[in-house]
Amino acid sequence: MGLFDTLTGRHKVKGPAADRLFAITTASVTLSAAHQIEPGGAAAVVFQPLATSEFDAMLRDMVDVVKATGADSGAEVQTRDDEYGYRWMVVRSSSIEDLAVALNAVSSSIETAGYGERLLAAVFAFADAHGQRIYFIYNYKRGTWYPFVPAAQSGTRNTERELQLKAQMDGELPLESELERWFPLWGAPI
């Protein structure tokens, strides 16, 4: 990392292959057909914003591009900051493919601008036949997926269901093998 990178907060990350993000589109077919888990119609990229005019301009351009490309499919885009200082770029669409394309456009824009280190995760919402929310989280730094299932009790997670999903989706998604890296994302706005 050079002096310019330090001053601007930008750093080029050797990120994982983009095709790993798109694995969710084929995995959703298995989730639906074999496990009665349906896409929730929303996904988000969560990242740490930077308080510079250059970063803000890049985000505005990115939102405009995602809105323009999503206009044909009816996709909606919004941003929201959470209590931890992270920004959520939320995309809503009935098509899992459109969600994956939109999130890839967002993350690619951030990486191309040199802010790849600021990417935290992509999150896709699903629900099972009983209405239980299930999230599949893509960790950009590791290039792996993992399930997150919040339990009915606030602030707890259903680890048994998460491990069941791991067993069911092994081979469908590049799953994170180190369970201690399965970080919950509480309060996801999707």
Mean per-residue pLDDT for 33-41? 97
Calculate what percentage of the chain has a pLDDT beyond 90. 72
The pLDDT score that the predictor gives to residue 19 is: 78
Please determine, for residue 10, whether its predicted confidence score (pLDDT) is greater than 60. no
The pLDDT score that the predictor gives to residue 12 is: 46
- Compute the half-sphere exposure of residue 48: CA atoms within 13 Å on the CB side of its CA: 9
- Please answer whether residues 100 and 81 qualify as being in contact, where contact means their C-beta atoms are separated by less than 8 angstroms: no
Q: Using CA atoms, how far apart are residues 100 and 29, in angstroms rounded to an integer?
A: 14
Closest listed residue to residue 43, CA positions, set 85, 83, 102, 84: 102
The pLDDT tens digits for 47-68 are: 999 999 999 999 888 888 888 7
Contacts of residue 71, defined as CB under 8 A and 6 or more positions apart, other chains included, come to none
Contacts of residue 170, defined as CB under 8 A and 6 or more positions apart, other chains included, come to none
The pLDDT score that the predictor gives to residue 18 is: 62
The pLDDT score that the predictor gives to residue 139 is: 97
Where do the domains of the chain lie? 15-174
Please tell me the class of the 15-174 domain: alpha beta
Average pLDDT of the chain, as a whole number: 89
Q: Which residue has the higher pLDDT, 9 or 93?
A: 93
Q: Using CA atoms, how far apart are residues 21 and 17, in angstroms rounded to an integer?
A: 8
Q: Using CA atoms, how far apart are residues 88 and 189, in angstroms rounded to an integer?
A: 8
**Which 3 state secondary structure label does DSSP give 95?**
coil
